């Protein structure tokens, strides 16, 4: 068989630019994580890897602050973990309440509708949070078996208090799904203390691991709901009733695990544990405060009020007369710094600055503030 009719493509060797990632994700990856990801591959049923799976789950339970047995990494990005949460908890006809105050609450609602849920939404302006009484009133008006809310809304920089939400949902017979993609490992989050039923996250934010593997944990109420389903989970790949058999003692084959990504997540979680959760939360808080003060000193206005501001992701209102894209392009071109623009309702109105995991460093804050000041002259 001849290949002569096709011109052989010749491309240069990969040489990725050394960006300073200060956007909404991915964050900078700790060099230790990159190093372990280059370790030799083993099979997904190799004794070495099976032992690593157990240790990774133990580390995840610490970072989530939970004793949930079903605590695993999903093979996929944060959106895969989101879909796993929805697909396993929602059946055709399931009454669902989704709290939407940003882009990712809307994504949950879209997924729930695709899985046949009878979706009701309550909405808040982008950048605001939901008071518990609003969730309670919505559930009294129309009961829901599944309630979903975003803890750290990446599109707005708002941090949703969860203290009373779970108890309200449980009193009215529902289970609570929490999106912690931009909070796990960077913002206080204690799954058992808050009594959250399903909580998912991503690897590429405050955990500072490359995107592609996503933690999820299910409490006993959620596990019972999964076991009592009237229909099979519509998404075969994300069916946790099968996936948990691989991550559990049975080690029943389901799909080939992303070996190198598990290596990376394992090391990223070890780094979190070494630093200590409380110390890590405090580091994110202090560096965010330094950023907020510096931005306001330069006359820039922050989108979210201080009491609900997310330390890992800050939204900055674009000043009148400033082209937000030109500033972002200047940061990338002249300083090798990446920040992002707004999504949805905030497109063109804000910049999004991430200080997550390995990216949350004082020197990065100083460099960004200096660069922004120069470009905004």
Residue 134 has pLDDT above 90, yes or no: yes
Strands (E), 91-192: 95-100, 118-123, 146-150, 152-153, 158-159, 175-179
Q: How many other CB atoms are found less than 10 A from the CB of residue 367?
A: 16
CB 186 within 8 A of CB 284: yes
Q: Exposed/middle/buried for 6, CB within 10 Å: 0-12, 13-18, 19+?
A: exposed
Paired sense of beta strands 146-150 and 152-153, if any = unpaired
Among 240, 270, 313, 355, residue whose Cα is nearest residue 56: 270
Q: Does the structure show a pLDDT above 70 at 1?
A: no
CATH entry, 20-26+277-375, from 3.40.605.10, 3.90.1150.10, 3.40.630.30, 1.10.3470.10: 3.90.1150.10
pLDDT on residue 7: 86
Would you list the domain boundaries of the chain?
20-26+277-375, 31-273
Per residue in 177-224, pLDDT (tens digit) is 999 999 999 999 999 999 999 999 999 999 999 999 999 999 999 999
CATH for 31-273 is: 3.40.640.10
pLDDT tens, residue by residue, 326-340: 999 999 999 999 999
State the greatest distance between any 2 C-alpha atoms of the chain, in Å, as a whole number: 71
pLDDT over 90 (residue 128):
yes
Q: What percent of the chain has pLDDT over 70?
A: 100
> Residue 123 forms beta bridges with which residues?
100
Is the link from the previous residue into 26 a cis peptide, with omega within 30 of 0?
A: yes
Which among 117, 63, 73 has a CA at the least distance from the CA of 95?
Answer: 117
Of residues 4 and 259, which shows the higher confidence score? 259
377 pLDDT band, cuts 50/70/90, is: confident
Query: pLDDT at position 8, please?
Result: 87
Q: What is the pLDDT of residue 297?
A: 96
Q: What does the DSSP 8-state code read for residue 344?
A: G
Q: What's this model's pTM, rounded to 2 decimal places?
A: 0.96
Mean predicted confidence (pLDDT) in 115-119: 98
Residue 6: the pLDDT is 84
- Say how many Å lie between the first and final Cα of the chain, rounded: 63
* Whole-angstrom distance, CA of residue 58 vs CA of residue 53: 9
Arithmetic mean of pLDDT, 132-151: 98
Flag whether pLDDT at 163 surpasses 70: yes
pLDDT single digits (tens) 284-321? 999 999 999 999 999 999 999 999 999 999 999 999 99
Percent of the chain whose pLDDT exceeds 90: 97
Residue 374's CB is within 10 A of a number of other CB atoms, namely: 12
Residue 343 clears pLDDT 90, i.e. is over it: yes
């Amino acid at each position: 068989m001849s290949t002569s009719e096709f011109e052989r493509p010749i491309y240069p060797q990969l040489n990725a630019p050394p960006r300073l990632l200060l956007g909404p994700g991915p964050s900078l990856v700790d060099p230790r994580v990159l190093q372990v990801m280059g370790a030799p591959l083993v099979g997904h049923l190799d004794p070495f890897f099976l032992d690593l799976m157990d240790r990774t789950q133990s580390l995840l339970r610490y970072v989530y602050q939970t004793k949930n047995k079903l605590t695993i990494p999903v093979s996929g990005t944060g959106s895969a973990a989101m879909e796993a949460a929805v697909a396993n908890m929602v059946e055709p006809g399931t009454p669902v309440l989704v709290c939407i105050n940003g882009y990712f609450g809307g994504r949950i609602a879209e997924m729930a509708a695709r899985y046949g849920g009878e979706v009701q939404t309550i909405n808040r302006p982008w950048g605001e949070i939901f008071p518990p009484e609003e969730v309670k009133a919505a559930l009294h008006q129309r009961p829901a078996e599944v309630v979903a809310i975003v803890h750290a809304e990446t599109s707005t920089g708002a941090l949703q208090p969860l203290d009373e939400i779970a108890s309200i949902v449980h009193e009215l017979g529902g289970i609570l799904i929490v999106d912690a993609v931009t909070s796990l490992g960077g913002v206080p989050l204690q799954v058992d203390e808050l009594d959250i039923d399903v909580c998912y996250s991503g690897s590429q934010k405050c955990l500072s691991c490359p995107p592609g593997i996503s933690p999820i944990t299910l409490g006993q109420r959620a596990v019972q709901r999964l076991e009592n389903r009237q229909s099979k989970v519509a998404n075969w790949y994300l069916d946790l009733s099968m996936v948990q058999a691989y991550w559990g003692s049975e080690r029943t084959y389901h799909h080939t695990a992303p070996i190198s990504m598990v290596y990376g997540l394992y090391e990223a979680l070890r780094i979190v544990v070494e630093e200590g959760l409380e110390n890590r939360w405090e580091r994110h808080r202090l560096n965010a405060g330094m950023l907020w003060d510096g931005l306001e000193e330069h006359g820039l206005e922050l989108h979210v009020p201080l009491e609900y501001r997310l330390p890992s992701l800050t939204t900055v209102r674009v000043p009148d007369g400033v082209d937000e894209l030109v500033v972002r392009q200047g940061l990338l071109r002249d300083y090798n710094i990446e920040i992002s623009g707004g999504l949805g309702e905030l497109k063109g109105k804000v910049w999004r600055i991430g200080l997550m995991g390995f990216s949350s460093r004082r020197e990065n804050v100083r460099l960004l503030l200096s660069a922004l000041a120069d470009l905004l002259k």
